[in-house]
């Protein structure tokens, strides 16, 4: 990547004269921007807001579960809390999280493009997201959804608060935002790569965005039509999934999980992309098995469509199908295993430093490992018939989604923060938060595995007293976790003003995004980009720039 | 970048690149549309396996003959649209406008006939979700409702797409009439043409399975 | 036997006429007393019609491989949805 | 070695929390589960240890030999090898799980069949001789019991942790589940599929009795009572008590002593409570909504016969006063 002028490292860090944040200031310039970097900010603000709503709901839930009786909130409120929590966290936070913020910000820069292929559709995607979020929040005021994030029929269509359906409409709308972003990712990756940026020179993060876009495009429409059918069934009172009129409730489950299992990988693959970047950068070593990493991500994209039935092992699907879905589930898990081994091998004989992003990266590996291994236990039909619907499942997916994906998101936030804002975050606070989150997380969800083993069903507002001790432990952990998440919120805002000014490449990393100023100029690069190297060539980097001396 | 013509948007280097990006984008969008229709179709098929007899009896209520002509109309409109694309690429303004108008005409014809069929359906009492619209007397009228719901969902979704298509064609016609920028128009027409043809594809499948298979 | 038709107008017209014929045959056969076979033939003809719309009206004929691949993915993924779930429907109460 | 100890410890912790295992199937499930926890524990510990050692050993400050040569071919072999190992292990897991599952979900040839109906938010059972119970199921020990389950409203799930099996109860279908309790005792029954607000209260007990005790118990069931007693039974059986009893969490009016009184309706009018009014309240609850209450009462049209409604009315007339607020 030699044709890019390397910014002078010797000069003390300074802000570039003009960058994407200061070329205009008005509110209008933000709301009508087509700059992918600014759109990333728009998403970032909205997503943070939604995450806090979802997190607040979780906190109230945890407090309610302190005692066996339902003494803090009523049964109806509890149902609303976990439904809201699930819906917001899945569709309004985690699915768009990494793609719409970091993907938007970085994908064009990483491939040496000036912008996305369809910048206006990119902006539209944000407006559609906001519309969906608006409808959802409207639903919260109109009575709140209370059928869980899974909208199982006939409960959602005939037996709950009509606001459930409004929430479904919100999710339906936000699906189009996902689709638009995904179209942009794929077309941009195909058509806008800089000269010399061949497919196998793409950073793994770009590959992860590509793989996840495939998933989004093929899965989301099925969710859209499913929710549409639920809505129509509710409003017109017609039968589609209604057993009383010949419909089949399991049909809904098939269609929902045909989307939602791929959706869990939609949440995971971007995290894998991020972690791949973190691990190589802070090990200063080429990723081990780059091609295999790419193929395993693409394999996950394809194969994750074959396994949805593992959510229905005891729901009444045929035993034969259950077995097929179980075996497919195991097959899809192989690529995940490969990735874990490859990350470990990448670190081997590296030159490892422990900056906050790396701490997040490593805790991702550990927590995803635990979540994945318990996923295997659930994928065993004979064990799922015991564990299905218990807190074991809750713990499984929080380990992957919170311990894995959200942790990777935090890692990405710290890693690219200097690039995005031009300022460094305070390192000591960064590490403290990473550790607080890790500890708090395990304290929250570790006990839930035991609760599941003990048989406590999920979505229980009151529970038999035998489960109280473990629930108390979990709630205590949740408090630590909440503090852990509140910390970055505070010090990152602080750093916007008082943080040290960041050099263009604080981590001595190799990606194209580090070859331009921090924050980047409006069109990303001052000069045309030309790529000549394989990715992550740290040997060459060190030869050219001298060894990296740690963060400035 | 000064040599770049103003036809090319900022993020692209060449016109060819931009064109191919647009087309790829459209095709990807159509793939998602396939999944959208396909999902509904799947729901229909699955319900069909549960009540095959009721479904095939109920499908006899549909007016295959009306839609037979209609399908031919739709195929023809796809044809005229494809011709319009050629015409615009040959820079023949009048012909383009004429072909576009023909396409619109055929599209609206299709929608009108569809509307006529809906009215007939109402009179024949196979509209389960309107008060007074349902007095079907075939086997298991309660379950047959399921079939009619799917019928309206599928054709309704299709008609919705048609209407958007007609709207787009109107815009294209205006642009063709003004003839400001034939090159740009050629590119836009390719995109709209893809969408219009996709509507044909969806209809072929709907007609075959809903109307023909059970006869 | 590669027929080279240079004139796109002619080519499209030929395709259109052929499609109309095929379609009429399909509808005709739907009423022929040939048992379930008519369903099979109907479906095959529908497939052919869909393919020809995509090849000619949607220009896949002279598009690069990527676009053809994209066009195919939607259908391929639907096949996944159909086969795996219908497998459940057809074997549900047999255990 | 030490990792084995650690995972054994993990199993040791888990044992503390397991519910009692009351069927042979439960023991099989536990066995397999212990194996899996052991294996996962070993894998997790091994990988964590590997990562930890690498991180410490190759930290930036440390002086180490960092030469790392590997050619593409070797690399592919490495990747292939560990993928294959993982794959084989996974297939073994699949097989072990499938084995149990098929066993648990194949229908037994001979069994004591009991009908189960799930309803918001209660379990109703009917024994072969017609004896009925609610929320508590008495079964004999050492017999294969097969449940034939259906639901009248939404999806529920019949879950007895002590038996380590569960199954959804889906409206419009009949689902089956069997178990063979081998330990006398009383075990928790949960509804494990979210079914609305009362989901967490849809709990019950499975009472496993000695065979002769069960026979004895069955003998003493089914004593038809006076109309108001039968009405009381219906009142419980159809879940009226879930809402209309003193300590229910749902906000619904108390019915004790209501007969003959005047009620205020939400549209501002008043009505006198007589037979017709109560009948209407049961069949068309949305028609007259009592002022100050949410219109959440479900309609019982098609579920209660006229005769049954008469029995319920006679029960409401005679309603015991301890239900008063
Ligand atoms: C990001 C989200 C995410 C991810 C990535 C996964 C990944 C996996 N999930 Fe999870 N899952 C969820 C989110 C996720 N899941 C959610 C939200 C639910 C509940 C939904 C609801 O009902 O509300 C759920 C539920 C769920 C169920 C249904 C449980 C039930 O309701 O009864 C099952 C069952 O098979 C399952 C399995 C798996 C498996 C096998 C993986 C695998 O992909 C994991 C692969 C990873 C590994 C296996 C680890 C690394 C492996 C090695 C290091 C190999 C070496 C190991 C050995 C040789 C032993 N999941
Ligand atoms: C991306 C997904 C995601 C994320 C991030 C989380 C995050 C958390 N979840 Fe989540 N959870 C789900 C997805 C997620 N969850 C889903 C899909 C379900 C199933 C729903 C269903 O059954 O339908 C579920 C269900 C679920 C349950 C089970 C409810 C039940 O079945 O009865 C519980 C219980 O403990 C729980 C707890 C938590 C906690 C403590 C966090 C914490 O990690 C949250 C921490 C974050 C914050 C607290 C916000 C940031 C902090 C601050 C701003 C500080 C100040 C704020 C306060 C002090 C309030 N969740
Ligand atoms: Cu019944 Cu939950
Ligand atoms: Cu899954």
Flag the least confident range among A134-138, A534-538, D157-161. A534-538
**Segment A15-28 mean pLDDT:** 79
Site residues for ligand 3, CB cut-off 6 Å: D 118, 121, 156, 191, 193-195, 199, 202
The residue of chain A with its CA nearest to that of B48 is A247
Q: Which residues contact A546 (CB under 8 A, 6 or more apart)?
A: none
Asked if A164 and A147 count as a contact pair (C-beta separation under 8 A), the reply is yes
Q: Is the CB of A224 under 6 A from ligand 2?
A: no
The shortest C-alpha distance from C83 to chain B (Å) reads: 10
Q: Which residue has the tokens 């924050």?
A: A519
Distance CA D70, CA B196 (A): 54
Q: Nearest Cβ partner of B46 from A116, A224, A248?
A: A248
Q: Determine the straight-line distance between the first and last CA of chain D, rounded to whole angstroms.
A: 65
The residue of chain D with its CA nearest to that of A373 is D40
What angle (nearest 5°) sits at the alpha carbon of residue A34, between those of residues A30 and A510? 105
Q: Nearest Cβ partner of B43 from A114, A191, A251?
A: A251
> Between A524 and B109, whose confidence is greater?
B109
- Chain D residues touching A147 at Cβ < 8 A: 194
Instruction: Note whether B193 contacts C58, CB cutoff 8 Å.
Output: yes
> Between A99 and D72, whose confidence is greater?
A99
User: Does residue B98 register a pLDDT over 80?
Assistant: yes
Q: Which residues of A275-307 are buried (b: 16+ CB within 10 A; e: fewer)?
A: bbbbbbbbbbbbbbbbebbbebbebbbbbbbbb
Whether chain B has a CB inside 8 Å of the CB on A217: the answer is yes
Distance CA A207, CA A272 (A): 10
Q: Which residues contact D85 (CB under 8 A, 6 or more apart)?
A: none
The pairs formed by B13-19 with CB atoms below 8 angstroms and a separation of 24 or more are: B17/A191, B17/A192, B19/B187
From atom 21 of ligand 2, which residue's Cα is the shortest distance away? A148
Bridge partners, D157 (sequence order): D168
Q: Nearest Cβ partner of D44 from A243, A333, A370?
A: A370
How far apart are the CA of D253 and the centre of ligand 3, in A?
24
Distance CA A388, CA A326 (A): 14
Phi, psi (rounded to 5 degrees) for A51: -60, -40
What are the angstrom distances between the C-alpha of A205 and each of A155, A351, A537?
Answer: 40, 21, 16
Q: Indicate the pLDDT class of residue C1, thresholds 50, 70 and 90.
A: very low
Summarize pLDDT for A275-333 with one digit per residue, the tens.
999 999 999 888 998 999 999 999 999 999 999 999 999 998 899 999 999 999 999 99
User: Does residue A233 register a pLDDT over 80?
Assistant: yes
Q: Is the CB of A73 under 6 A from ligand 1?
A: no
Smallest Cα–Cα separation from A275: which of A372, A412, A399, A93?
A412
Summarize pLDDT for D5-28 with one digit per residue, the tens.
666 777 777 777 888 888 999 999
**Segment A484-508 mean pLDDT:** 90
Q: Indicate the pLDDT class of residue B156, thresholds 50, 70 and 90.
A: very high
Q: Determine the straight-line distance between the first and last CA of chain C, rounded to whole angstroms.
A: 54
Helix and strand totals (H; E) in chain A? 19, 0
Distance CA A37, CA A30 (A): 11
Q: What is the pLDDT of residue C94?
A: 55
Q: Which residue has the tokens 């619209």?
A: B133
**Segment D153-170 mean pLDDT:** 92
How far apart are the CA of A445 and the centre of ligand 2, in A?
10
Ligand nearest to the CA of D239: 3
CA of A52, closest atom in ligand 2: 49
Do B and C make contact via 3 or more CB pairs under 8 A? The reply is yes
User: Does residue A211 register a pLDDT over 60?
Assistant: yes
Q: Is the CB of A339 under 6 A from ligand 1?
A: no
Which residue intervals of C1-95 are DSSP H helices? Answer: 8-30, 37-52, 65-91
Whether chain C has a CB inside 8 Å of the CB on D72: the answer is no
**Segment B31-51 mean pLDDT:** 91
Q: Which residues contact D307 (CB under 8 A, 6 or more apart)?
A: none
Q: What is the pLDDT of residue A60?
A: 93
Q: What is the pLDDT of residue A256?
A: 94
Q: Indicate the pLDDT class of residue B6, thresholds 50, 70 and 90.
A: low
Instruction: Note whether C94 contacts A190, CB cutoff 8 Å.
Output: no
Distance CA B120, CA B113 (A): 10
**Segment B77-94 mean pLDDT:** 90
The residue of chain A with its CA nearest to that of C83 is A306
| R_g over Cα of chain A | 23
- Chain A residues touching C91 at Cβ < 8 A: 318-321
Distance CA A261, CA A273 (A): 19
User: Does residue D68 register a pLDDT over 80?
Assistant: no
User: Does residue D97 register a pLDDT over 90?
Assistant: yes
Q: Which residue has the tokens 């380990």?
A: A399
Q: What is the DSSP letter of A548?
A: -
Give the pair of three-digit tokens for residue C56. Answer: 């000619």
Side-by-side strand order, sheet with D145-151: D132-134, D122-126, D112-119, D145-151, D175-179
Q: What is the pLDDT of residue A239?
A: 75
Q: What is the pLDDT of residue D16?
A: 78
Q: Nearest Cβ partner of A318 from C80, C81, C92?
A: C92
Q: Indicate the pLDDT class of residue B2, thresholds 50, 70 and 90.
A: very low
Q: What is the pLDDT of residue A534?
A: 85
User: Does residue B1 register a pLDDT over 50?
Assistant: no
Interface A:B, Cβ pairs < 8 A: 113
Q: What is the DSSP letter of A501?
A: B
How far apart are the CA of C89 and the centre of ligand 4, in A?
20
Give the pair of three-digit tokens for residue A438. Answer: 């890790």
B interface test, pick of C53, C54, C85 with most B CB neighbours within 10 Å: C53
Which residue intervals of A399-552 are DSSP H helices? Answer: 407-421, 427-453, 468-498, 538-545
Asked if B182 and B88 count as a contact pair (C-beta separation under 8 A), the reply is yes
User: Does residue A215 register a pLDDT over 60?
Assistant: yes
Count of all residues that appear for chain D in the document: 325
Q: What is the pLDDT of residue A6?
A: 47
**Segment A75-86 mean pLDDT:** 91
User: Does residue A171 register a pLDDT over 60?
Assistant: yes
What is the enclosing helix (H) or strand (E) of D138? strand D136-140
Q: What is the mean pLDDT of chain A?
A: 90
Q: Within 10 A of A545 (CB to CB), how many other CB atoms are there?
A: 12
Q: Within 10 A of A377 (CB to CB), how many other CB atoms are there?
A: 22
Q: Indicate the pLDDT class of residue A1, thresholds 50, 70 and 90.
A: very low
* Interface chains of chain D (3 or more CB pairs under 8 Å): A, C
C interface test, pick of A226, A249, A252, A254 with most C CB neighbours within 10 Å: A254
Q: What is the pLDDT of residue A98?
A: 95
Ligand nearest to the CA of A85: 2
What angle (nearest 5°) sits at the alpha carbon of residue A147, between those of residues A144 and A148? 100
Ligand nearest to the CA of D190: 3
Summarize pLDDT for C6-19 with one digit per residue, the tens.
688 888 888 899 98
Smallest Cα–Cα separation from D58: which of A347, A359, A360, A365?
A347
Distance CA A509, CA A415 (A): 11
Q: Is the CB of A86 under 6 A from ligand 2?
A: yes
Q: What is the mean pLDDT of chain B?
A: 87
* Interface chains of chain C (3 or more CB pairs under 8 Å): A, B, D
Q: What is the pLDDT of residue D6?
A: 65
Q: What is the pLDDT of residue A4?
A: 46
Hey, which of A17-31, A230-244, B85-99, D217-231 has the most confident mean pLDDT? Answer: B85-99
> For C35, left (φ over 0), alpha (ψ -120 to 50), or beta?
left
Which residue intervals of A239-355 are DSSP H helices? Answer: 249-283, 290-303, 319-347
Give the pair of three-digit tokens for residue B17. Answer: 């690149």
Q: Indicate the pLDDT class of residue C2, thresholds 50, 70 and 90.
A: very low
Give SS3 for A502. coil
What are the angstrom distances between the C-alpha of D50 and each of A306, A343, C89, D44?
Answer: 33, 11, 46, 10
> For D185, left (φ over 0), alpha (ψ -120 to 50), or beta?
left
Query: If you write DSSP's letter for every residue of A173-226 in order, what string do you get?
Result: HHHHHHHHHHHHHHHHHHH-PPTT--GGGS-HHHHHHHHHHHHHHHHHHHHHHH
Q: Which residues contact A24 (CB under 8 A, 6 or more apart)?
A: none
User: Does residue A173 register a pLDDT over 80?
Assistant: yes
Q: Determine the straight-line distance between the first and last CA of chain A, rounded to whole angstroms.
A: 23
From atom 1 of ligand 2, which residue's Cα is the shortest distance away? A89
What is the percentage of chain D residues whose pLDDT exceeds 90? 35
What is the percentage of chain A residues whose pLDDT exceeds 70? 97
Distance CA C79, CA C75 (A): 6
Give the helix, strand, coil percentages of chain A, each rounded to 5. 70, 0, 30
Q: Is the CB of A97 under 6 A from ligand 2?
A: no
Instruction: Note whether A305 contacts C91, CB cutoff 8 Å.
Output: no
Q: Nearest Cβ partner of A324 from C73, C87, C92?
A: C87
Instruction: Note whether A341 contacts D155, CB cutoff 8 Å.
Output: no
Q: Indicate the pLDDT class of residue B4, thresholds 50, 70 and 90.
A: low
Whether chain C has a CB inside 8 Å of the CB on A504: the answer is no
CA of A389, closest atom in ligand 1: 31
Distance CA A89, CA A96 (A): 10
Summarize pLDDT for D249-308 with one digit per residue, the tens.
677 887 877 887 888 887 777 788 888 788 888 887 877 788 778 778 888 877 787 778
How far apart are the CA of A90 and the centre of ligand 4, in A?
13
Give SS3 for D51. helix
User: Does residue D224 register a pLDDT over 80?
Assistant: no
Give the helix, strand, coil percentages of chain D, each rounded to 5. 45, 20, 35
Q: What is the pLDDT of residue A12?
A: 58
Q: Nearest Cβ partner of A347 from D44, D51, D198?
A: D51
Judge if the upstream peptide bond of residue D121 is cis by omega within 30 degrees of 0.
yes
Q: From the centroid of its chain, how far is CA D287?
A: 34
How far apart are the CA of A308 and the centre of ligand 4, in A?
6
- Chain B residues touching C13 at Cβ < 8 A: 79
Instruction: Note whether A240 contacts B149, CB cutoff 8 Å.
Output: yes
Q: What is the pLDDT of residue D247?
A: 60
Distance CA D90, CA A372 (A): 12
């Amino acid at each position: 990547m030699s044709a890019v002028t390397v910014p002078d490292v010797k000069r003390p860090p300074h802000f570039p004269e003009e960058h994407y944040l200061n070329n205009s200031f008005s509110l209008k310039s933000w709301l009508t921007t087509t700059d992918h970097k600014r759109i990333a900010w728009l998403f970032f603000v909205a997503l943070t807001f939604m995450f806090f709503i979802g997190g607040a709901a979780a906190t109230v839930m945890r407090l309610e579960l302190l005692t066996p009786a339902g003494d803090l909130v009523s049964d109806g409120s509890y149902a609303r809390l976990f439904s809201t929590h699930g819906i917001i966290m899945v569709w309004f936070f985690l699915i768009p999280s990494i793609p719409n913020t970091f993907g938007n910000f970085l994908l064009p820069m990483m491939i040496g493009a000036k912008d996305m292929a369809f910048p206006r559709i990119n902006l539209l995607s944000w407006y559609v997201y906001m519309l969906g979020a608006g409808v959802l929040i409207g639903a919260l005021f109109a009575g709140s959804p209370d059928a869980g994030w899974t909208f199982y029929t006939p409960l959602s269509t005939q037996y709950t608060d009509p606001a459930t359906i409004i929430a479904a409409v919100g999710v339906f709308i936000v699906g189009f935002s996902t689709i638009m972003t995904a179209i942009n990712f794929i077309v941009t990756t195909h058509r806008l790569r800089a000269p010399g940026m061949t497919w196998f020179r793409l950073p793994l993060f770009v590959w992860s965005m590509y793989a996840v876009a495939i998933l989004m495009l093929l899965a989301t429409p099925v969710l859209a039509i499913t929710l549409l059918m639920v809505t129509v069934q509710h409003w017109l009172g017609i039968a589609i999934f209604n057993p009383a009129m010949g419909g089949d409730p399991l049909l809904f489950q098939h269609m929902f999980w045909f989307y939602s299992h791929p959706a869990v990988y939609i949440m995971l693959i971007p995290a894998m992309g991020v972690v791949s970047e973190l691990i190589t950068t802070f090990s200063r070593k080429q990723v081990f098995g780059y091609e295999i990493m790419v193929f395993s991500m693409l394999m996950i994209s394809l194969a994750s469509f074959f396994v949805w039935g593992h959510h229905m092992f005891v729901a009444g699907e045929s035993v034969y199908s259950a077995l097929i879905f179980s075996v497919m589930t195991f097959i899809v898990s192989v690529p995940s295993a490969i990735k874990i081994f490859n990350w470990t091998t990448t670190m081997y004989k590296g030159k490892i430093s422990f900056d906050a992003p790396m701490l997040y990266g490593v805790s991702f590996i550990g927590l995803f490992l635990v979540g994945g291994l318990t996923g295997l236990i659930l994928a065993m039909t004979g064990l799922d018939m015991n564990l299905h619907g218990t807190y074991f499942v809750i713990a499984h997916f929080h380990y992957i989604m919170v311990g894995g994906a959200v942790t990777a998101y935090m890692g990405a936030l710290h890693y690219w923060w200097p690039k995005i804002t031009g300022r460094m975050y305070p390192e000591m606070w960064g590490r403290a938060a990473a550790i607080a989150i890790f500890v708090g997380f395990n304290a929250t969800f570790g006990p839930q595995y035991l609760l599941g083993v003990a048989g406590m069903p999920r979505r229980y507002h009151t529970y038999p007293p035998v489960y109280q001790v473990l629930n108390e432990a979990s709630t205590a952990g949740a408090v630590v976790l909440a503090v852990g998440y509140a910390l970055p919120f505070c010090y990152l805002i602080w750093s916007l003003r008082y943080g040290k000014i960041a050099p263009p490449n604080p981590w001595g990393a190799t990606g194209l995004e580090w070859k331009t100023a921090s924050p980047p100029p409006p069109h990303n690069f001052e000069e045309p980009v030309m790529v000549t190297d394989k990715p992550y060539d740290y040997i060459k980097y060190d030869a050219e720039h001298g060894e990296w001396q740690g963060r400035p | 970048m000064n040599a770049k013509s103003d036809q090319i948007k900022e993020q692209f280097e060449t016109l060819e690149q931009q064109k191919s990006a647009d087309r790829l984008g459209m095709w990807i969008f159509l793939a998602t549309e396939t999944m959208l229709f396909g999902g509904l179709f799947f729901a229909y098929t699955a319900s069909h396996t549960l009540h095959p007899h009721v479904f095939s009896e109920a499908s006899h209520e549909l007016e295959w003959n009306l839609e037979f002509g209609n399908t031919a109309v739709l195929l023809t409109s796809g044809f005229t649209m494809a011709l319009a694309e050629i015409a615009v690429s040959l820079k023949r303004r009048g012909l383009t406008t004429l072909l576009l108008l023909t396409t619109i005409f055929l599209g609206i014809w299709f929608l009108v006939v569809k509307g006529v069929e809906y009215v007939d359906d109402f009179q024949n009492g196979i509209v389960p979700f309107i008060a007074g619209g349902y007095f079907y007397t075939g086997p298991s009228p309660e379950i047959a409702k399921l079939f009619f719901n799917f019928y309206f969902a599928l054709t309704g979704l299709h008609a919705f797409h048609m209407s958007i298509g007609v709207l787009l064609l109107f815009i294209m016609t205006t642009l063709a009439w003004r003839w400001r920028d034939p090159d740009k128009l050629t590119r836009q027409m390719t995109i709209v043409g893809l969408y219009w043809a996709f509507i044909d594809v969806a209809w072929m499948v709907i007609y075959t399975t809903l109307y023909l298979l059970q006869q | 036997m590669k027929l080279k038709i240079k004139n796109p107008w002619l080519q499209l017209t030929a395709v259109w006429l052929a499609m109309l014929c095929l379609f009429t045959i399909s509808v005709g056969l739907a009423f022929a007393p040939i048992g379930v076979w008519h369903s099979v033939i109907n479906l095959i003809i529908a497939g052919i019609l869909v393919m020809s719309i995509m090849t000619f009206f949607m220009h896949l004929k002279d598009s690069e491989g990527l676009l053809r691949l994209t066009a195919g993915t939607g259908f391929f993924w639907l096949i996944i949805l159909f086969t795996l779930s219908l497998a459940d429907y057809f074997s549900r109460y047999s255990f | 070695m030490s990792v084995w100890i650690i995972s054994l410890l993990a199993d040791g912790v888990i044992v503390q929390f397991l519910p009692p295992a009351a069927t042979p199937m439960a023991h099989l499930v536990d066995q397999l589960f212990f194996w899996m926890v052991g294996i996962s524990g070993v894998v997790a510990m091994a990988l964590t240890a590997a990562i930890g050692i690498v991180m410490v050993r190759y930290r930036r400050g440390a002086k180490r030999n960092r030469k790392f040569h590997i050619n593409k071919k070797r690399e592919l072999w490495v990747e292939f090898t560990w993928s294959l190992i993982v794959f084989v292990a996974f297939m073994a897991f699949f097989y072990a799980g499938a084995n149990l599952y098929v066993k648990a979900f194949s229908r037994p040839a001979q069994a004591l069949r009991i009908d189960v109906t799930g309803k918001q938010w209660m379990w109703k059972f009917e024994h072969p001789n017609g004896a009925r119970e609610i929320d508590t199921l008495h079964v004999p020990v050492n017999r294969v019991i097969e449940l034939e389950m259906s639901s009248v409203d939404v999806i529920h799930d019949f879950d007895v942790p002590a038996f380590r099996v569960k199954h959804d109860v889906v409206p419009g279908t009949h689902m089956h589940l069997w178990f063979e309790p081998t330990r006398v005792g009383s075990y928790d029954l949960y509804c494990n599929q979210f079914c609305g607000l009362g989901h967490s209260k849809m709990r019950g007990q499975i009472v496993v009795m000695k065979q002769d005790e069960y026979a004895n118990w069955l003998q003493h069931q089914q004593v038809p009572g006076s109309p108001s007693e039968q009405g009381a039974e219906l009142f419980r059986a159809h879940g009226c008590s879930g809402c209309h009893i003193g300590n229910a969490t749902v906000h619904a009016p108390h019915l004790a002593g209501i007969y003959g009184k005047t009620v205020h309706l939400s549209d501002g009018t008043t009505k006198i409570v007589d037979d017709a009014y109560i009948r209407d309240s049961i069949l068309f609850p949305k028609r007259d909504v009592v002022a100050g209450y949410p219109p959440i009462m479900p309609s019982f049209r098609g579920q209660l016969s006229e005769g049954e409604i008469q029995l319920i009315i006679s029960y409401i007339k005679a309603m015991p006063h301890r239900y008063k607020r």
